Structure 1
Amino acid sequence: MWEGVLKAIGKFQPNKRAFGEANTGSGMRIHPARSLKMHRRIAFVLLWLTLTPLGRAQVPWSTLPLPPRRADAPTGTQIRDITSSMSREVREAYIFDQIVSGNVPNFLRGFATITVTATLGGQPHTIQYGVTPDYLAVGSDTDFFRMPMTPHLAQWLCDRLGCSLPTRKMVNDIWAQSAWKLAPQPIAPSPEMVTVPVFYTHHQMVETQRQSMGAALGALLSGHKKDVVITPQLPTRPPPPRVAIYGWHYQNGTPIQPLSLVHEATYADYSHGIRLVKNEVVVDGQVTTLQAVLAHSTLAGLVSDEGAFSSGNRYPAPPPPALFPFSDRFTSAGRELSCWSDRFTSPTVLAFAPIAPGGDGYALRVRDPSGGIDSTRTGYSYHEDYFVESYIYCQYRPELATNGFERVGIFARDDGNGMFEGISGSGIKGNNYALTWDSHDGRVRCLRTVNGAATDLLPTPQYRASSGWRLFRIEVSGNSIAFRLDGELLLLTSDATHLRGQFGIGYHEYFANNANIAGTYAENFRADRLPVSSVTEWDSF
């Protein structure tokens, strides 16, 4: 078709009578030479429009839908160090957070196009789909880390990024069309093969080989990992749920790993890699989805050598980890966040007056009626730089001073024990930063608690001796800690005692008589990442 168009245009000769000194209708005449140039340009535009018809589908993928990488995001080496001591569950929550927050190298954000043509049902068909050029990694272009993942984490990312995992056939086709085919580099089996240090060692081995071959970052690479794949066998296996792995091709095209579902779905070792496939695909010039193709009785052959998928095109996975921002208004329906962790008792949302600024007449009450400390917290142990804030009701009760007092407030960078600013009867010790208020004298404290011992970091005592709602806020960024009350900066200090941890709402009663316990009343709780800025800019927040 295109040859005929080109030939016709190549033979095009302007008719002097038709294209001589043409009258534009406005009295202006066009010189023949200019007319010839104009019509050649028109012919070129017509050819371009013919070659790129508006009705034909264009490749529907460009880059992963991720935010830009933050300037302060950890590098691959730093992530190795951060995650080495984490449990698998915490590590995968952390990696999920890092990736969806944009901590992905630039070279991994685009897609390589794979084209497959096959005769199916007696008719030729062609599919195009986009794949990440390498296995998923975290960090920067100059310092990144290819991170093995369980299928749970892989599925969370697929759902978030509009992607899928490949099938066995797709892995073969990706390998065949890869610009660079690396040789597999197995590591001797050991219990350590599921640990981050071995993950990173293998990543370095891959990098050494890639660099020695001269393969550029962003070029389509294969052969250096087994793929976590989808298969219609996933729902057919008896419990527990399984992970399907395949690939790790020798350079002659033979895979080391046949399709295997021997491992549980919580398993990942150094040899596993996650390659994403964009859900939108192009079949015979029309945009559709990979899932629709997999389910099609005929077209499934373009992407599957196991027949059509009636199920098994995704992994069953628990809900993904919560991400910044965290927000809870404590409405009449209860707590909005499902990721709260309570220390001793379950806090109650109840009607409360006076109404907090921006509130709805309900508040969260945190207390243990039997006395002592109680708290509720959220976030993860790896959270570092963020703010946490909440309206806290300060009930000034100096008349009870002879019987004791209660301390209310919020905390940040908690070690996961949720012990606020003290020690439990069983010896559980608090470790965090906290902003608190005491009911008997209105004293405000900016606390650093270490092993249950609280130190007020304020150089001189400060008091707010009245009742009312107050906005408590703590900002933590590296070694810089800021405490604010109703927008006023109480203290900006440098302290490296607690570098990361959870955040929440705390309560501690010091009464001789538990009948005096009221509790911490909180409303409009929020926590989020701090913008990338210097400490000197914090006062402008």
Structure 2
Amino acid sequence: MLRPAFCFSLAAIAALSVSAQDLDTTYVSDEFTSGSRGNALGTGPTFNNSLTDGTEFLAITNTDGVTGTINYINIFAGATGGEVESPVYNVTVAQDNQDRTLPGAIEAIVASGGADPGAVLVGDDGGTNGLLFGENDDANYFVEAAVYCYNRTTPGPPGYETHSVMFRGARDGEGLLSGGGGSYTMDRVAGSFAITWDAQLGTVFARRWNGSTTTADITNRVATTFTDFGSTTLAEGWHTFRIEGYGSVITFTVDGSELASVIDSTFPNGRAGLIYREASVVSADETQAYFDNMRAGPATPPTVTSVEQFELYR
């Protein structure tokens, strides 16, 4: 017989102490209207004459008009201090930056306050780059962002380009590269959950990056590198990716439709992130990655009605 103690809502989690970076308890959002992200002095080891893991605390006014602080970590050479890393651009105007000539103007996405032409560019920096936020021990939260999905299937340059929203990745002490330089990664060392748009395949995947893989395995799409839970094709344009996890239950949605929902306890905690990775694409042909309308915060607590569900969500 089920004891009444198991029939409860886990809303009491919200009573935990609040931190500006604790996504388990605090909502954050960023419309990316101006400035840049994660471009302050790096805190990681030296790589290609600059410090990796540039960090930046920013006061961001969220969609409810509340101003809070987001600490962005810009992986790899985030310490250059210039707009080369993650600038906010008016996407309706063709832009160039210090690293690459960008593909050209695109349409603006409609934000909560109307059409806002600003979006953050996460660009190539040695094959991958990303903006991380949240805390190492974040576990029960959601993250979503609008992602501009370039379709490179026809004719498309050869190679590999992905744009991802990452969930429970970049954990301290296990997500760092070794050798020539060190930095957090989505897929290379520790692994994570993600919704990943593969521009050359024209397909979006609900995915677990398995970690402990080589860059060659990632960019050659070697099957052991990842586990896919679902996929679908998308037209080129803006699409909203959302991942929400509570305990072992992880749900992936694209444009409000469920792509996959799985029970997976591989990664119980980790940061959120907006990630770009490429390989074997001529620099002039790289799209880079535009993200907008980022939102993250506590996952909706489930109502537990059985011992089995309690074990999944605790």
Using structure 1 for the length normalisation, give the TM-score.
Answer: 0.38
Q: Which residue of 1 aligns with 2:15?
A: 102
Q: Is the CA contact (8 Å cut-off) linking 1:371 and 1:514 kept in structure 2?
A: no
Q: Which residue of 2 aligns with 1:71?
A: 10
Where does structure 1 lack aligned partners over 5 or more consecutive residues? 1-69, 75-100, 105-156, 158-319, 424-428, 537-541
Change (3 A) 1:500 1:480: same
Question: Distance between the aligned counterparts of 1:512 and 1:347, measured in 2?
Answer: 20
Q: CA deviation at 1:455?
A: 1.8
Identity of aligned residues (%): 27
Q: Is the CA contact (8 Å cut-off) linking 1:437 and 1:444 kept in structure 2?
A: yes
Q: Deviations over 1:151-178 (max 9, x none)?
A: xxxxxx9xxxxxxxxxxxxxxxxxxxxx
> Is 1:340 equivalent to 2:109 in the alignment?
no
Q: Which residue of 2 aligns with 1:328?
A: 30
Q: CA deviation at 1:489?
A: 0.1
Q: CA deviation at 1:499?
A: 0.4
Q: CA deviation at 1:531?
A: 2.1
Q: CA deviation at 1:71?
A: 3.1
Q: Which residue of 2 aligns with 1:479?
A: 248
Q: CA deviation at 1:322?
A: 3.1
Q: Is the CA contact (8 Å cut-off) linking 1:355 and 1:361 kept in structure 2?
A: yes
Question: RMSD across aligned C-alpha pairs, in angstroms?
Answer: 2.6
Q: Which residue of 1 aligns with 2:220?
A: none
5 Å-filtered alignment, 1:143-222, equals none
Q: Which residue of 2 aligns with 1:397?
A: 152
> Is 1:363 equivalent to 2:119 in the alignment?
yes
State the one-letter code of the partner of 1:491.
A
SS at match of 1:420: coil
SS at match of 1:384: coil
Q: Deviations over 1:469-514 (max 9, x none)?
A: 0000001110001100000001011000000111010111123422
> Is 1:516 equivalent to 2:285 in the alignment?
yes
Q: Which of 450, 455, 462 is matched with 2:232 structurally?
A: 462
Larger Rg: 1
Change (3 A) 1:364 1:482: same
Q: CA deviation at 1:515?
A: 2.2
Q: Which of 149, 155, 162 is matched with 1:407 structurally?
A: 162
How many residues are matched? Answer: 219
Question: Distance between the aligned counterparts of 1:503 and 1:481, measured in 2?
Answer: 14
Q: Which residue of 2 aligns with 1:447?
A: 207
Question: Distance between the aligned counterparts of 1:458 and 1:343, measured in 2?
Answer: 27
Q: CA deviation at 1:447?
A: 1.3
Task: Flag the structure with higher strand content.
Answer: 2
State the one-letter code of the partner of 2:10.
A
SS at match of 1:357: strand
Q: Is the CA contact (8 Å cut-off) linking 1:349 and 1:362 kept in structure 2?
A: yes
Q: Which of 504, 519, 532 is matched with 2:301 structurally?
A: 532
> Is 1:500 equivalent to 2:202 in the alignment?
no
Question: Distance between the aligned counterparts of 1:440 and 1:363, measured in 2?
Answer: 22
Q: Is the CA contact (8 Å cut-off) linking 1:511 and 1:517 kept in structure 2?
A: no
Change (3 A) 1:396 1:534: farther
Change (3 A) 1:352 1:535: farther
Q: Deviations over 1:184-215 (max 9, x none)?
A: xxxxxxxxxxxxxxxxxxxxxxxxxxxxxxxx
Q: Is the CA contact (8 Å cut-off) linking 2:20 and 2:70 kept in structure 1?
A: no
Change (3 A) 1:490 1:338: closer
Task: Flag the structure with higher helix content.
Answer: 1
